Structure 1
Amino acid sequence: MQIKETTNEGLKRAYAVTIPAKEIDARVSGEVKKIAPQVRMPGFRPGKVPANLVRKMHGEQLHAQAVNDMIRESVDKVMADNKLRPAMQPKVEFGDGYEEGKDAKITVELEILPVVEAPEIEGIKLERLTVPVKDEQVDEAVQRIADQNANYKDAAKSKKAADGDQLIIDFVGRVDGIEFEGGKAENTPLVIGSGQFIPGFEEQLSGVKTGDKKTIKVTFPADYPAQHLADKEAEFDITVQAVKVPAETKVDEEFAKNLGLDSLDKLKELIRGQLEQETSGLTRTQMKRQLLDTLAAGHDFAVPQGMVEAEFDQIWAQLEQEAARSDDPAAMLKEIEVEKDEYRHIAERRVRLGLLLSEIGQKNGVEVTPNEMSMLIQQAAQQYRAEDRERFVEYVRNEPMAAAQLRAPLYEDKVVDFLFDKAKITDREVTREELEAAIEADEQEAAEKPKKKAPAKKAAAKKAPAKKDDAEKKPAAKKAPAEKAAAKKDDGDKKPAAKKAPAKKPAAKKPAAKK
């Protein structure tokens, strides 16, 4: 086997590999000898079929397998002999085609991972914005729960229904004069203004009284789950059985027990924990952004463009999906197209941060344990149908790149937590509004400031502006350095894809008339 380097520019490498025909033939001959004892042929005793006949019968298959095996071995030898760390799967092609009996000539092209010096991690300074949960916030949250679990009492028969009132109705729906499945119900509760039914339904019942009968006309949304009703006009015959008004819900021990808790104090304790969890997530996002900006500011090494393109493709696909779900897909696509170069810059920064975090993690023994990996696989499998879960688990266990991509978010979190432990952190108490404003201000600052290259190699250099949606690339694992980032809500530098249109009301719950 002959190997010759043809390209060595930056992170790009290319090699011309020649596998002599005689070596291929020798490999095929060896395989013929291996299988000959198992070959059966009329007129010959078992195991006594001549090699030339075995080769005539199975030669084409054995030859193809031999060539494939030797190409794989040659690529492995290129990597080993040159001590290469490929950023992504090498591109392997036959040079001038291939014919049996001739030398196999292939080209191997790849990008290698850059040599990244792990930065000095001691003494990184971060500010942690903390939000204490006050008693009045807990009380307000409890009251909201009480309001959402409001009781209703019968109103006077002359009472005209208004927003917030509850109706008990019977209804029958028809499309083109024909009743449809799910369009009929009796004694159905409906709170006017709740958005429970399809648009236009509740509004037309404002002002009705107990005993009233009314026919209303509505149009099912274009995205209605029942396709045969989507975008169709319908009539509903309504009978109002009762009009009810909200009754005061007393927040006491009995209220808490009705929610399945032991006491009002237990309810408040649960609410306090939820509020603290919400704000701690925001705190982590804000602190993580500081950390990433500090790391990004001190490093500006070249990164494999193949990884950048893969990351950009992932970002762009997500943007296109969000645009497609908007009220005006064409306008949103036009808007993000203007920022295409910026998103490519974001992809490059993600890759650079991913490689940097990976280097830090490997140098400091950060790893995802087998038990953690097993839990990740099982959790990911839950998104598939029951009959497909075992196949997904098997796929991940046998496909290193799939496992690496699944491992990446957890690995990154562990590296970030490791760096938090090493950092010098000062706490500053703020309100939730101030914390959210600080995160928003960073995003706005990033949107307005021009991008600047960071100075090379200063561990705790001046803070670089946070780039829009500059969520870090997931760090590469030891066995799969080319891991792709997976989008996460806790990404330190999150940029909304584009201006989002107001959310559409969700589709139906119960009868076809409901959303």
Structure 2
Amino acid sequence: MQVTETLKDGLKRGYTITVSAAELDAEVQKKLIEAQPEVEIKGFRKGKVPLAILKKQFGQRILGDAMQDAIDGAMKAHFDQTGDRPALQPEVKMVDGETWKEGQDVVVEMTYECLPPIPEVDAAKITLDRLSVKADDAAIDEALKNLASSSQSFEAKKKAQKAKKGDQVVIDFKGSVDGEYFEGGAGEDYPLVLGSNSFIPGFEDQLIGAKTGDEVKVEVSFPENYGAAHLAGKAAVFECTVKEVREPKEAEIDDELAKKFGAEDLAALKGQIAERLEAEYKGAARAVLKRALLDQLDAQVKFDLPSALVDAEAAQIAHQLWHEENPDVHDHNHGAMEPTDEHKKLAERRVRLGLVLAEVGRKAEVTVTDAEMTQAVLSAARQYPGQERAFFEFVQKNAQMQQQLRAPVFEDKVVDHIVAGAKVTDKDVSKDELQKLVEALDEM
């Protein structure tokens, strides 16, 4: 077996791998001998089938396996010897593959970009502020008011009083398209909060000003992307009877409100709110610290980047941003997104930092434990209420999804490892100061 270098340009590498016909035949023979004890063919006892007959019957299939094994073995030996680590799966192409015949040497071309040597990270040169915010009385009172607002009830207005935005109207309704009532378009005693945007756009606005006992014809058009295709884009009329108009009444901030949220009393609820707020502040402070760390790493460590990784990341960024700007498009039936210079610059940063963190983690032997992986899956499963079991099964069968869940856990553990060696100053700040720093992250 012969490996010959054909390209060495920066991080790009090219080689031809030649497997001689004799080597390939020896590998086929080896596989036939390994399989012989388990083969049973009519006219021969199990394990007694002559190799010549085995080769005639199974030779072509085994030849393909032998060829693949030989090439895989040559590639592994090459990477073990050179120490190269491909940035992406090497491209392997058989020379004269369409005209190759048994008895000829097998020649393949292998090209790839190797990962660059990553300079050592000097954590001692990194200086960070670890921010801390305490939940003050004002923040706790604001959270209590929001809870009271979310727990509001509705009380009936006088019959002569008109409905306004924020009020709840109890209605019977019946919808028709082109004069024909349609299935699913009717309801009775439906409590609708005006301004909640829970009905078709324009529906709720036409009930503002209605009184108890009013008959209102609401004229709307279904959205073009409406879930029921036979109604999408159609004009509809809903005959509505307003049976009652109710105004909102916020819950009192007292022990009863606390009990609704599982606390013994108001003091206990305030304690729970303080804990939740400080956990949120801690998460925000962590994001600020992590960004500061990554910025310093990006400035400290420089090296050549595999162009294939940068191009793939830039394309992904362009694609993601396009969908954020076009939220109504949920499929991928659109043209390719051409990355801009800004996308490429961001891609270079992401690839560089990704390689740095991966290398630091590798050298520090950072691993994601089974318990941490399980927790990551549990957290992700909460996004699919009622479908948790199906999500777990999907993750178990999908290696790519497992990697997507493992990657951020690994990254956070590497960040913690670097922070442990950095110069970190604990600093108390106000909620507003932290908020400004978080907002600045979004602007970068």
What is the TM-score of this pair, normalised by structure 2?
0.89
CA change 1:44–1:255 in 2 (3 A) is: closer
Q: How does 1:310-321 map to 2 (within 5 A)?
A: 310-321=312-323
Distance in 1, matches of 2:358 and 2:234, equals: 54
Q: Contact between 1:173 and 1:179, CA under 8 Å: does it hold in 2?
A: yes
Name the residue aligned to 1:59: 59
CA distances 1:382-403 after superposition (whole Å, capped 9, x unpaired): 867846744641443xxxx765
CA change 1:223–1:313 in 2 (3 A) is: same
Distance in 1, matches of 2:239 and 2:82, equals: 79
Name the residue aligned to 1:411: 410
Residue 351 of structure 2 corresponds to residue 351 of structure 1: yes
Q: Contact between 1:4 and 1:15, CA under 8 Å: does it hold in 2?
A: yes
Q: How does 1:12-411 map to 2 (within 5 A)?
A: 12-97=12-97, 98-247=100-249, 249-325=251-327, 340-376=340-376, 386=389, 389-390=392-393, 392-396=395-399, 403-411=402-410
- Helix, strand or coil at the partner of 1:110: strand
Q: Contact between 2:135 and 2:277, CA under 8 Å: does it hold in 1?
A: yes
How far has the Cα of 1:26 moved from its partner?
1.4
CA change 1:286–1:218 in 2 (3 A) is: same
Name the amino acid aligned to 1:222.
Answer: E
CA change 1:405–1:385 in 2 (3 A) is: closer
CA distances 1:355-414 after superposition (whole Å, capped 9, x unpaired): 212222233343222432354456667867846744641443xxxx76544422111101
Q: Contact between 1:378 and 1:393, CA under 8 Å: does it hold in 2?
A: no
Residue 438 of structure 2 corresponds to residue 435 of structure 1: no
Distance in 1, matches of 2:316 and 2:60, equals: 41
CA distances 1:276-304 after superposition (whole Å, capped 9, x unpaired): 22222222222211111111111211122
Distance in 1, matches of 2:378 and 2:159, equals: 57
Q: Contact between 2:151 and 2:250, CA under 8 Å: does it hold in 1?
A: no
Larger mean CA deviation between 271-280 and 63-72 belongs to 271-280
How far has the Cα of 1:70 moved from its partner?
0.7
- Helix, strand or coil at the partner of 2:63: helix
CA distances 1:57-93 after superposition (whole Å, capped 9, x unpaired): 1111111111111111111111112222222222111
Name the residue aligned to 1:498: none
CA change 1:245–1:373 in 2 (3 A) is: closer
- Helix, strand or coil at the partner of 1:18: strand
Distance in 1, matches of 2:125 and 2:50, equals: 74
CA change 1:94–1:154 in 2 (3 A) is: same
Name the amino acid aligned to 1:418.
Answer: H
Distance in 1, matches of 2:280 and 2:17, equals: 57
CA distances 1:324-343 after superposition (whole Å, capped 9, x unpaired): 3269xxxxx99x96x71111
- Helix, strand or coil at the partner of 2:18: strand
Q: Contact between 2:220 and 2:236, CA under 8 Å: does it hold in 1?
A: yes
Q: Contact between 1:123 and 1:422, CA under 8 Å: does it hold in 2?
A: no
Distance in 1, matches of 2:198 and 2:394, equals: 39
How far has the Cα of 1:443 moved from its partner?
5.4
Distance in 2, matches of 1:234 and 1:395, equals: 45
CA distances 1:147-187 after superposition (whole Å, capped 9, x unpaired): 22222222211111112222111111122222223221111
CA distances 1:293-326 after superposition (whole Å, capped 9, x unpaired): 1111112111222222222232222123223326
Gaps of 5+ in 2: 330-334
- Helix, strand or coil at the partner of 1:122: helix
How far has the Cα of 1:24 moved from its partner?
0.7
- Helix, strand or coil at the partner of 2:118: coil
Name the amino acid aligned to 1:289.
Answer: R
Name the amino acid aligned to 1:420.
Answer: V
Higher share of residues assigned helix: 2
How far has the Cα of 1:419 moved from its partner?
2.3
Name the amino acid aligned to 2:61.
Answer: Q
CA distances 1:450-508 after superposition (whole Å, capped 9, x unpaired): xxxxxxxxxxxxxxxxxx5xxxxxxxxxxxxxxxxxxxxxxxxxxxxxxxxxxxxxxxx
Distance in 2, matches of 1:267 and 1:42, equals: 80
The alignment of Structure 1 onto Structure 2 pairs a total of residues equal to 435
Distance in 1, matches of 2:81 and 2:250, equals: 79
Q: Contact between 1:118 and 1:363, CA under 8 Å: does it hold in 2?
A: no
Instruction: Work out which structure has the larger RCO, using CA pairs closer than 8 Å and 6 or more positions apart in sequence.
Output: 1
Name the residue aligned to 1:501: none
Q: Contact between 2:395 and 2:402, CA under 8 Å: does it hold in 1?
A: no
Name the residue aligned to 1:480: none
> Percent of aligned positions with the same letter in both sequences?
41
How far has the Cα of 1:43 moved from its partner?
4.3
Name the residue aligned to 1:492: none
CA change 1:319–1:239 in 2 (3 A) is: same
- Helix, strand or coil at the partner of 2:257: helix
- Helix, strand or coil at the partner of 1:5: strand
How far has the Cα of 1:9 moved from its partner?
2.2
Distance in 1, matches of 2:426 and 2:158, equals: 57
Distance in 1, matches of 2:391 and 2:248, equals: 48
CA distances 1:263-282 after superposition (whole Å, capped 9, x unpaired): 11222222222222222222
Distance in 2, matches of 1:59 and 1:365, equals: 45
- Helix, strand or coil at the partner of 2:192: strand
- Helix, strand or coil at the partner of 2:247: strand
- Helix, strand or coil at the partner of 1:265: helix
- Helix, strand or coil at the partner of 2:123: coil
Q: Contact between 2:148 and 2:250, CA under 8 Å: does it hold in 1?
A: no
CA change 1:43–1:88 in 2 (3 A) is: same
Distance in 1, matches of 2:38 and 2:364, equals: 53
